[in-house]
Amino acid sequence: MAGYLDRIGAGKVLLDRGPLSFDWTPPLLVGRERELESLASMFMGIGNENVSGRAVVVGHVGTGKTVLTRRFGEDVVREMDGIRKIVLSHVNCRNHPSTSQVLQQIALSLDSRHPERGFSSGEIIQSIRRNIRSRGLHMILVLDEVDVLVRRDSSDLIYKLLRIDEGQGNHGSVSLILVSQDPSLMGMLEPAIISRLGESNVLRLEPYDSDGLVGISKQRYEASCKPGSVGEEVLEKIGRFASETGDARLAIELLEAAVRRAEMDGRGEVNVGDVMPSTLRTASVEPSQVDSLGTHQKLILLGICRRLRKVEEISSGDARKLYELVCEEFSIKTRSYTTFWKHLKSLETEGLLEARSTNTSVGRGRTTYITMSNTSPATIGSRIEKEFMNR
């Protein structure tokens, strides 16, 4: 096999790529117990033939709206086993933005051979209703990113779906869950729709905090990687970076990229340095972040910044020497090597530095190389310099 492909099969860290995909639905959601309970309360009595539920779920990108509704749907199906036959239909209106496309997707979830053309919306709705009733089913329908449909084609279809049983006797054919990242969704809907949905049936998902994101990346790691290959520090760094947006997708992306870097390096362990903020969509370090650092952290960082204006990366040994020079310059006593290391680590966890370790063939042990891909060394350096000049 060609040499450059060797790494593909190595899998020193990765056992199963599946759980690193956004489409993977975890068996349990991390930290959304209350939200699931709240959703369940909107489906009270769903085991009864004439009952259907309604819910509206809103929240920013990556707050877990899609996975929450998927997890909930699958859990309800399992819970209702032997009590009520439930079929799930999850339509992403961004991918199927017109009324007829949405209806087509719903019809397909009931019958994979549903013909593509030749029917009006009214006819498809009728055939959906007939199919559900004749088979004694109940459908939980999720219209994901529903604002796209409403903007394009009005909320007519939602109204019709909410009235699917009207004048047909007491029967709950369809439960409806509307999902949107647009907080003003309710404002886009007609009063008649809002009253049918129930104003209190709105569930708002808050962005995740760093603990939540650590939990989510930990779950993904445990489901996809070798035990022990990703440490707490790595997960914490991911959590800290992703917490700026609270987007779970970002946490998973950072984990995946870090695993890939470790694999590329042929290592069996992911390092803190593999979590690279440069893959972030927004710069994650503000220069003002250095203001709250301790004196020696600043001095260490200053030495590193001065050198990184000229070179791409420096070794930890050089960083130590530069730190000693800076201390001399400002007549401050240097700290021990251990303390120096501790500060270096904390600067890395702060996201101000990235460190990369290599096995060296000369001498023994490992050398650590330090870079700053996340922010400009010149900006950070002169900010610290100014402070110490004025002391």
Ligand X SMILES: Nc1ncnc2c1ncn2[C@@H]1O[C@H](COP(=O)(O)OP(=O)(O)O)[C@@H](O)[C@H]1O
Binding stretches for Mg ion (CB under 5 A): 66
Q: Are 369 and 356 in contact (CB under 8 A)?
A: yes
In the chain, the N- to C-terminal Cα span, in Å, equals 62
**CB 257 to ligand X: min, Å:** 15
Partner touching 32 among ligand X, Mg ion, none, CB below 5 to 8 Å by kind? ligand X
Closer to Mg ion at the Cβ: 66 or 89?
66
Return the residues of window 55-74 that contact ligand X according to CB under 6 A.
Answer: 59, 61-67
Residue with smaller CB distance to Mg ion, 63 or 368: 63
Choosing among ligand X, Mg ion, none, which partner's interface includes residue 374 (Cβ < 5 to 8 Å by kind)? none
Which partner in Mg ion, ligand X, none is near 69 (CB below 5 to 8 A by kind)?
none
Residue 49 CB, nearest distance to ligand X (Å)? 31
Q: For residues 252-287, b (16+ Cβ closer than 10 Å) or e, as one string? A: bbbbbbbbbbbbebebebbbbbbbbbeebeeebbee
Asked if 30 touches ligand X (CB under 6 A), the answer is yes
Beta partners for 180? 58
Rounded least distance, CB 68 to Mg ion, Å: 9
Nearer to ligand X, 53 or 64 (CB): 64
Minimum distance between the CB of residue 190 and Mg ion, rounded to whole angstroms? 24
Q: Cα 155 to chain center, whole Å?
A: 29
Residue 249 interacts, among Mg ion, ligand X, none and using kind-specific CB cut-offs from 5 to 8 Å, with ligand X
Report in angstroms how near the CB of residue 334 gets to Mg ion at its nearest. Answer: 52
Q: Which two tokens stand for residue 74?
A: 């699958």
Check binding of 94 to ligand X (CB under 6 A).
no
In this chain, which residue has its C-beta nearest to ligand X?
Answer: 64
Query: Looking at beta carbons, which residue is closest to Mg ion?
Result: 66
Tell me, letter by letter, the H, E, C secondary structure of 92-147.
ECCCCCCHHHHHHHHHHHHCCCCCCCCCCHHHHHHHHHHHHHHCCEEEEEEEECHH
Nearest partner of 205 among 80, 57, 106, judged by Cα: 57
In angstroms, give the least distance from the CB of 22 to ligand X: 4
Residue placing its CB nearer to ligand X in the complex, 89 or 297: 89
Is 182 or 233 the residue whose CB approaches ligand X more closely?
A: 182
Residue tagged 């007519």 (tokens)? 156
Query: How far apart are the C-alpha atoms of 59 and 183, rounded to whole Å?
Result: 7
Q: If you write DSSP's letter for every residue of 243-270 in order, what string do you get?
A: TTTT-HHHHHHHHHHHHHHHHHTT-SSB
Taking the mean position of all CA atoms in its chain, how far away is CA 221? 13
DSSP 306-324: HHHTTSS-EEHHHHHHHHH
Q: Is 105 in the site for ligand X (CB under 6 A)?
A: no
Could you tell which of ligand X, Mg ion, none binds residue 214, using a CB distance below 5 to 8 A set by kind? none
Q: Residue 62 or 351: which CB sits closer to Mg ion? A: 62
224 binds ligand X (CB under 6 A): no
Residues interacting with ligand X, by CB under 6 A?
A: 22, 26, 29-32, 59, 61-67, 216, 219, 248-249, 252
